[in-house]
Structure 1
Amino acid sequence: MENKKTYSFEEACRASLAYFDGDELAARVWVNKYALKDSYGNIFEKSPADMHWRIANEVARIEKKYKNPLSAEEVFELLDHFKYIVPAGSPMTGIGNNYQVASLSNCFVIGLDGDADSYGAIMRIDEEQVQLMKRRGGVGHDLSHLRPKGSPVNNSALTSTGLVPFMERYSNSTREVAQDGRRGALMLSVSIKHPDSEAFIDAKMTEGKITGANVSVKIDDEFMRCAIDDREYIQQFPIYSNNPKTKNAISARKLWEKIVHNAWKSAEPGVLFWDTIIRESIPDCYADLGFRTVSTNPCGEIPLCPYDSCRLLSINLYSYVVNPFTDKAYFDYELFRKHVGIAQRIMDDIVDMELEKIDLIMEKIKNDPQSDEVKSTEYHLWEKIKYKSGLGRRTGVGITAEGDMIAAMGLRYGTQEATDFSVEVHKTLALAAYRSSVTMAQERGAFAIYDTKREENNPFINRIKEADPQLYEDMAKYGRRNIACLTIAPTGTTSLMTQTTSGIEPVFMPVYKRRRKVNPNDADVHVDFVDEVGDSFEEYIVYHRKFIEWMNVNGFDTEKRYTQEEIDDLIAKSPYYKATANDVDWLMKVRMQGAIQKWVDHSISVTINLPNNVDEALVNRLYIEAWKSGCKGCTVYRDGSRSGVMISVDKKKKKSGDTDLSQQQLPPCRHPEVTEVRPKELECDVVRFQNNKEKWVAFVGLLDGYPYEIFTGLQDDEEGIVLPKTVTKGKVIKQTNEDGSHRYDFQFENKRGYKTTVEGLSEKFNPEYWNYAKLISGVLRYRMPIEHVIKLVSSLQLKSESINTWKNGVERALKKYVTDGTEAKGQKCPVCGHESLVYQEGCLICKNCGASRCG
């Protein structure tokens, strides 16, 4: 490999900061996530311009294989400054990257035919899932083929354990796989027709369970009609059998109410309207040839058949608004059509690049030192993916900046006028993408199994036929290059670099406040807040980038220090008024999604954000409206319904420290009042961890869901405690001995419902551990915030190596209970050096650069 110039992190950040016109977050996200690096962390790109030339040159290389090739300069002009065409994360990172062997695909679905609920098949799926995640892929698979709980099996267990244990297995595998500092992403789905679907729906309601997966229920039209009409619904197994082994009638309405309640309470499960997905799916016209859709990727925007994959790309809609935020604003449809055609062409080029990447992956597997027996599953997996990717040449052209486009046109997101305009844009996009795919079929050849006859009754194809008869006639004559073309993904961090709203979503907040720590003795410092430990903070305003453009166009001073009332007045005058994630017309948003879905052949990832005080009846109404409107899926997040969900902060909640007030989060339970007299019994979590290859265990006593005491030590040596691996919860009971002293017993139920007691937790561990544990338990009981307790434990100066190991274990056990979004004050990010670390699911995540550190 040639010697390339390298850049320091600071050099890349400075150049990228200039590239993004002073947007520090965009610059650091790009340097950390997308700049070309080797496995040693050497950086080979100074700014996104270098990355865009890397991608443009690779696209041009593929283009030269075909007629009428695009030049690298033409492609670069579309990519530069993320203005028009924006590849998704995996293509952006992987195209032209010779330093890592990774897939360019964002999305995969896996699944085995035949006897797919044997242990061998279940283990095979687990391994395939992990192998894909380690190469940056998000994975989905369906569990509808697994036998329901209590079904007979031909092994020593005699009966099946049902879905939930395998949900936990797949979830745990996801959490164990790191992808360039981030965890894997998994979607688990099941049909509502499955007898265990209720257990599936409830599985994530226990905090700490199935934390490595999104879960969605595949709901058919018959179930929805039965739920609305309050009729019985028949569940059976196997799901699609004409002669099922089990069959039972249930109340559809009761099960539907449970789905609604759980979604209201915890934001899951999501719902997939499966009959709509299958009815509209063009690939399912080829179901008998291996393209039967079975599940979706983790965000739900790509329904896929087993071993198919998809690469994604977004078009920045804001850039096609001419004279934005003025009364002369208009949408440049001509330029848009041209660029959509090129975007579809680039996506097809990326399919070729992916096939090359798969060849490299397979070659690497061949040359790995492991035995063929060990490597066979991974190698065969990529064989299947290569075959399916080449056969259908599926693409995922999408959009971002929908919310900003609507505002720039002077429209309000969530109104009928804005919806009608958006539908016209997406119709234009669909027709232009399909025209491009037909043109490529003429120049490059159609996908191998294209058949006009198979597709003649597909609703999406018939919409195209009605809207553009000539396009349909040409498609019937020449075929189409790609089996399916379109999607709308969340866009995530890429929207930070386009500096726009994300995907199809409205703006989260157009204006918000942040706080930064200041020295109150410095000159010209304005102290707005002093926290509980005496640190001083100054508030400053952060504007959504396109809101600044609106201000500039309309003559408002962007440098002025506005009061809250003035900010509210500014927003009220803007097209973003009543059009943010939390105050948009929710029903109109659902109807808008359904109307746009008619022109998206895959699906749309969209979230309905609701205030905390809405009731379950509204969630019910939104889900039913989504089904009736033709949406393929729907997800609802109620403000503060679970940790990890972003919430807004009103004027009465501004009492925390250095926190981004636009993304403040509430804990899963409020800190209870101090309870000095310990209750006789406390709920208890069992937290297992490993330190220096030694197995440790912590028993965390909980009062109102909040840690109240901790016991911890070695799990399985002579002085330790041996517990079944399945034990994760129980009770800690305070007992009085004959001499008046106290002990703490742990009690749990085994599989058969019998209670087992482990006596004297304080006596089972090294006495030195117990003394420190009493100290920690003391501060927990007086409700010191968990993050401060962790800081206290970390600061303990201990000479004994074993006690230091204990200390690390206590930190790890307690991190589980820190509310997601809480800042780790005084700790610096090891990557960018900023004091901007926040807790997220027991890990520390840098808000500044996105780096992650767990353990």
Structure 2
Amino acid sequence: MDTPVIKSQSKKPRKLKAFDRDEVVKAAVEYFHGDELAANVWVNKYALKDSFGNIYERTPDDMHRRIASELARIEQKYPNPLSEEKIYKALRYFQYIVPQGSPMAGIGNNLQVSSLSNCFVIGNGADSYGGIAKADEEQVQLMKRRGGVGQDLSHLRPKGTPVMNSALSSTGIVPFMERYSNSTREVAQDGRRGALMLTVSIKHPDAEDFIDAKVERGKVTGANVSVRIDDEFMRSAMDGKPYRQQFPIDAKEPDMTKEVDASRIWKKIIHNAWKSAEPGILFWDTIIRESVPDCYSDLGYKTISTNPCGEIPLCPYDSCRLLAINLYGYVENPFTDEASFNFEKFGEHVQMAQRMMDDIIDLEIEKIERILEKIDADPEGSDIKNTERELWVKIQKACVNGRRTGVGITAEGDMLAALGLRYGSDDAIDFSVQVHRTLAVNAYRSSAVMAKERGAFPIYDSEREKDNPFINRLREADPALYEEMLAHGRRNIALLTIAPTGTTSLMTQTTSGIEPAFLISYKRRRKVNPNDKDAKVTFIDEVGDHWEEYNVFHHKFLVWLTNNGYDVDKVTRMEAEELQKIIEKSPFYKATANDVDWVQKVKMQGAIQKWVDHSISVTVNIPEDTSEEMVQKIYETAWEAGCKGCTIYRDGSRSGVLVSDTASKESQPKFRETMPPKRPDRLEAAVVRFKNSNEDWIAVIGLFDDRPYEVFTGRAEDMFKFPDYVTSGWVMKNKDEDGHNRYDLQFCDRDGYRVTIEGLSRSFNKEYWNYAKLISGVLRHGMPIVHVVELIEGLNVPEDFINTWKKGVIRALKQFVPDGTQAADSTCPGCSDPDGLLYKEGCLLCKSCGYSECG
């Protein structure tokens, strides 16, 4: 293989040296001071690599040099350029400025053709199959370039609306939610699926179906969903008044209207969010009222939806790149009585970060040009590739005219703790507001300076912005800054956000985004030699291996321990009761995700939101026993406090999050006999199509309370025939002419008529049918799906086709294993983490290194 070459416009091409993966992982672990999770995240997601997986960077220091070199190249185009060394010092060790996601992976990477944008919103506004199909293609074209996508569905006509085709009436928005969701699940992005946000206005007549789509139907698993709620609806819901829905939603003389009980729908939103953490809420009037880009809505910058995590509301075909400032890096003498925040250094770095973000826009424009060149060079005809080409031309135009940036933060929780402030307290909120006001003023000052040096964004018009609440807040905070914008304009249409910073916070080794610490400590275990004099054997497993349980701590809690004179090794081995006494002395006590007063948290979000021109991604974590009434109070407080959105996560409403090790022996489950629920004559069913080796297979899964109750599966060519568009229906239990049970499938065709096909069981010979009945019996008695899969995998059957059939059953059932469930054998073959493998959408993924396995 030829040695790859990185080309630069200002330097000679440099040859790259490929490193052995094991060498890179070892060096990265050393770089992160033994933090294997951070090391593996960096190696898998951000180290420079080509399409064959060859790695060309040994540690994050190489990456920071790569990024600094490219940003310095752009700086040389403009007056008063930042030096490469100054940029590098701000980036190194993830201490101050951290490009997020796509910029980190893509800046200076010419080995792959990808975008530097983290997120996009699309929307052609067409209410036709052509427009719907085009949006579907646009979505996957963006996802393959590593971007997350948002779409609003409020322009699609409601269910039952007459249409001029063979269907005669519209199916409404829900089937298209499933279509876009399925497309997202199909797109691979270097070990991760695409990310999608679907939104709809509460004013749309199908809004209630949208709200129920994920909870009641068990579908749309490839998308986040959020409802755009206006102030009129909130007032109607809280006052018990009716609310008018209409289509089109913005029409002065709509084609249809419908009066609904706002309180009932509001209760449904609350219940669904309490039950399943979705839908999310977008307070749309607040978003539009505060939006600076919407001052230019008639020029194409009308906000219609958000990115998948909700922190960037966007207009159609605009995009955004993200960068986080590590707030913990500005705390001097952390966790001591002398702790202070260096506002001077922070302000200087914010201005630098905004400048670097503007440089990244220039780099993104270069990337788009390269994408267009690749599309033009592809051998397909223009009729095939026109949608992709037109898409990137639109994105290029929005990027050039607005130059939108996404400067944000991470480590809010650690910053407050290091200063001795309790997250969620009034003092902590006041200090956070001071920090974010400083950030906003300095970022906008930097953008104004760049407008003078580099030119304002092309459509800047101060007259359009004069009544914008956010701009007037800046004007009041810093009149001189406002005058400078009047004189020279601004380089960027909108600047600020607060994103979740998931993998970024793993590498900064801090709390994520605006969030508090999730847990202070949790337990892990390691195998030990019982003859080792230092070994502390906690238990012996069934095969005789000896294990030690030990405490793993949040990174900055370790700093607190060290700075306050504790022996970290000794604390690591403490029992829970003794450890708890120490935790209670720390500033993290009563300040974790489940401890923080939930109403205070949304008040904090609303106070900070006033200094963030885009939005804030934040989740309010609440205990499992939280009432729906409290969820309602949190939502309504968020609206009143000026939040632009709100998401609730109730512990246990979804699988797959870390939990503290607090269960007592008394709370452990005991063996007991169970009685399965009686099978109704009619069961809801999911129809699953999949590949088993090279064969097409179909599974029909009978569902009871959204859980697999019985399974029928086989090769598509052997099973009865029914249309490819069928994804759900009902399994009907009947009697055949001999009095034996017979199972039939019923589904709705595209015209809404019910069709029944007899004889699901006829696709099996008697032996397969007997296995299917045994497996269905296990399912009915409530065995967790992951253990049912394990049981089937262990079946010892001699015939080849039964083995193939067995694999088909496993493939079908794996799709119903709740996300986050640990695999029976959870040792990761990629990194050997003994607890690494978790289920995610039917596949096994390693939480440590990103290894994935489907099948």
How does the TM-score come out when normalised to structure 2? 0.93
| Distance in 1 of aligned mates of 2:48 and 2:308 | 26
Structure-to-structure mapping, 1:570-581, within 5 angstroms: 570-581=582-593
Summarize the Cα distance change of 1:297–1:755 in structure 2 as closer, same or farther, 3 Å threshold. Answer: closer
Give the whole-Å Cα distance in 2 for the aligned partners of 1:671 and 1:341: 62
Deviation per CA, 1:296-341: give whole Å up to 9, x if none.
0000000000010000000000010111111111110000000000
Q: CA–CA distance in 2 between the matches of 1:131 and 1:335?
A: 41
Residue 638 of structure 1, aligned match among 646, 650, 666: 650
Q: How does 1:307-322 map to 2 (within 5 A)?
A: 307-322=317-332
Matched with 1:841 is: 841
Q: 1:269 maps to what in 2?
A: 279
2:492 aligned with 1:482: yes
Summarize the Cα distance change of 1:432–1:724 in structure 2 as closer, same or farther, 3 Å threshold.
Answer: closer
User: In the alignment, is the contact (CA less than 8 A) between 2:726 and 2:747 conserved in 1?
Assistant: no
The CA distance in 2 between the partners of 1:533 and 1:17, in whole Å, is 31
Q: What number of residue pairs does the alignment pair up?
A: 838
Residue in 2 that maps onto 1:583:
595
- Structure 2: which amino acid aligns with 1:812? R
Distance 2:166 2:506 in 1: 54
Give distance in 1, aligned partners of 2:100 and 2:153: 28
Shift of 1:206: 2.7
* One-letter identity of the residue aligned with 1:4: L
Which residue of structure 2 lines up, in the alignment, with residue 659 of structure 1?
none
Question: How far 1:733 sits from its partner (Å)?
Answer: 2.6
Partner residue in 1 for 2:577: 565
1:704 & 1:245 partners in 2: Cα distance? 38
Q: In the alignment, which residue of structure 1 is the partner of 2:176?
A: 166
* Among 425, 429, 432, the residue aligned to 2:439: 429
Once residues 687 and 124 of structure 2 are traced to their aligned partners in structure 1, the CA distance between those partners, rounded to angstroms, is 35
Deviates more, 1:772-781 or 1:356-365: 772-781
Q: Alignment partner for residue 102 of structure 2, among 63, 85, 90? A: 90
Q: CA RMSD in A?
A: 2.5
**C-alpha distance in structure 1 between counterparts of 2:666 and 2:123, whole Å:** 48
Q: Find out whether 1:505 has 2:515 as its counterpart.
A: yes
Give the match for residue 608 of structure 1. Answer: 620
Please tell me whether residue 64 in structure 1 is matched to residue 76 in structure 2. Answer: yes
Deviation track 1:589-637 (CA, whole Å, cap 9, x = no partner) reads: 1001000000000000000000010111111111111111110000001
Instruction: Give SS of 2:664's match.
Output: helix
Matched, 1:157 2:167: yes
**1:319-398 aligned within 5 A:** 319-398=329-408
Q: Secondary structure at the match of 1:573?
A: coil
Deviations 1:89-126 (A, max 9, x none): 1000000011110000001001114xx11111111111
Separation in 2, partners of 1:526, 1:207: 49
* 1:259–1:782 Cα change, 3 Å: closer
Q: 1:351 to 1:425 in 2, by over 3 A?
A: same
Q: Deviations over 1:153-201 (max 9, x none)?
A: 1111111111101111111111111111111111111111111111111
CA deviations 1:490-524 (Å, max 9, x no partner) are 00111000000000000001111123456778876
SS of residue paired to 1:377:
helix
Q: Does 1:822 align with 2:821?
A: yes
Q: Does 1:281 align with 2:291?
A: yes
In structure 1, the residue matched to 2:746 is: 748
Task: Tell me the residue number matched to 2:726.
Answer: 726
Matched, 1:45 2:57: yes
Residue 604 (structure 2) aligns with: 592
- Which amino acid letter does the alignment assign opposite residue 715 of structure 1? A
Q: Per-residue deviation at 1:716?
A: 3.5
Preserved contact between residue 514 and residue 542 of structure 1 (Cα < 8 Å): yes
Are 1:553 and 2:563 an aligned pair? yes
Assess if the C-alpha contact under 8 Å between 1:730 and 1:747 holds in 2: yes
- The farther-off stretch of 294-303 and 533-542 is 533-542
Counterpart selection for 2:129 from 101, 119, 130: 119
Question: Judging changes above 3 Å, is the alpha-carbon distance between structure 1 residues 281 and 480 closer, same or farther for their aligned structure 2 residues?
Answer: same
Q: 1:707 to 1:253 in 2, by over 3 A?
A: closer
Equivalent pairs: percent with the same residue?
63
Is the alpha carbon distance of 1:197 and 1:520 closer, same or farther for their aligned partners in structure 2, counting shifts above 3 Å?
Answer: farther
Flag the 1:417–1:471 CA change in 2: closer, same or farther, 3 A.
same
Paired residues of 1:487 and 1:604 also in contact (CA < 8 A): yes
1:406 aligned counterpart, secondary structure: helix
Matched, 1:303 2:313: yes
What is the match of residue 769 of structure 2?
Answer: 770
Contact 2:159 2:206 in 1 (8 A): yes
* Residues 107, 310 of structure 1: 8 Å contact kept: yes
- Cα pair 1:446 1:479 within 8 Å, conserved: yes
Question: Contact (CA 8 Å) 2:523, 2:661: kept in 1 or not?
Answer: no
Code of the residue aligned with 1:699 in structure 2: it is: V
Partner of residue 663, structure 1: none
Give yes or no for contact 1:442–1:478 (8 Å, CA) kept in 2. yes
Partner SS for 2:198: strand
* CA distance in 1: counterparts of 2:746 and 2:280, whole angstroms: 32
8 A Cα contact 1:737 1:743, kept in partner: no
1:662 is matched with none
Q: 1:798 offset after TM fit, Å?
A: 5.8
* 1:222 Cα deviation after fit: 1.1
Match status 1:619 vs 2:623:
no
- 1:698 Cα shift? 2.1
Residues 232-286 of structure 1 deviation map (CA, whole Å, 9 limit, x = unaligned): 1111111111111001221111111111111111111111111111111111111
User: Compared with structure 1, are the counterparts of its residues 558 and 432 closer, same or farther at alpha carbon in structure 2 (3 Å cutoff)?
Assistant: same
How many angstroms apart in 1 are the aligned matches of 2:711 and 2:326? 51
Map 1:134-145; keep pairs closer than 5 Å. 134-145=144-155
Letter in structure 1 aligned against 2:98: V
> What whole-Å deviation, never above 9, does each CA across 1:803-849 have from its counterpart, x for those lacking one?
44323211211112323322224365353344421112211010221
Answer with 526-535 or 440-449: which moved more.
Answer: 526-535
Contact 1:221 1:275 in 2 (8 A): yes
| Structure 1 partner of 2:414 | 404
Q: What corresponds to 1:205 in structure 2?
A: 215
Residue 608 of structure 1 contacts residue 637 of structure 1 at CA under 8 Å; is this kept in 2? yes
| Cα displacement (A) at 1:652 | 3.0
- The code of the aligned residue for 1:813 comes to A
Counterpart code for 2:818 = T
Provide the secondary structure at the position in 2 that maps to 1:433: helix
1:793–1:400 distance in 2 versus 1, CA, 3 Å: same
- How many angstroms does 1:397 deviate by? 0.3
Residues 535/623 of structure 1: CA separation in 2 closer, same or farther (3 Å cut): farther
Q: Is structure 2 residue 90 aligned with structure 1 residue 78?
A: yes
Contact persistence 1:682–1:703 (CA under 8 A): no
Residues 102 and 155 from structure 1, CA distance in 2 versus in 1: closer, same or farther, beyond 3 angstroms? same
Whether 2:115 is the aligned partner of 1:103: answer yes
- Conserved? CA contact 1:511–1:567, under 8 Å: no
Distance 2:411 2:346 in 1: 14
**C-alpha offsets along residues 43-95 of structure 1, whole Å, 9 cap, x if unaligned?**
11111001110100000111110111111111111111100000001000000
1:49·1:81 contact (CA, 8 Å) conserved in 2?
yes
TM-score normalised per structure 1: 0.93
Residues 522 and 661, structure 2, Cα contact 8 Å, conserved in 1: no
- Say which of 451, 474, 480 aligns to 1:470: 480
* Structure 1 range deviating more: 685-694 or 29-38: 685-694
Question: Which amino acid in structure 1 is aligned with residue 716 of structure 2?
Answer: Q
- Residue among 194, 209, 217 paired with 2:227: 217
Deviation per CA, 1:11-34: give whole Å up to 9, x if none: 111111111111111111111111
Q: Equivalent of 2:195, from 185, 189, 195? A: 185
Per-residue CA distance 1:398-428 (angstroms, 9 max, x = gap): 0000000000000000000000000000000
1:660 alignment partner in structure 2 = none
- SS in structure 2 opposite 1:651? coil
The AA in structure 2 aligned to 1:225 is R
Distance in 2 separating the partners of 1:255 and 1:676: 34
- Measure how far apart 1:795 and its partner are: 4.6
> Mind listing any 5+ residue stretches in structure 1 that lack a counterpart?
657-665
Partners of 1:640 and 1:647 within 8 A in 2:
no
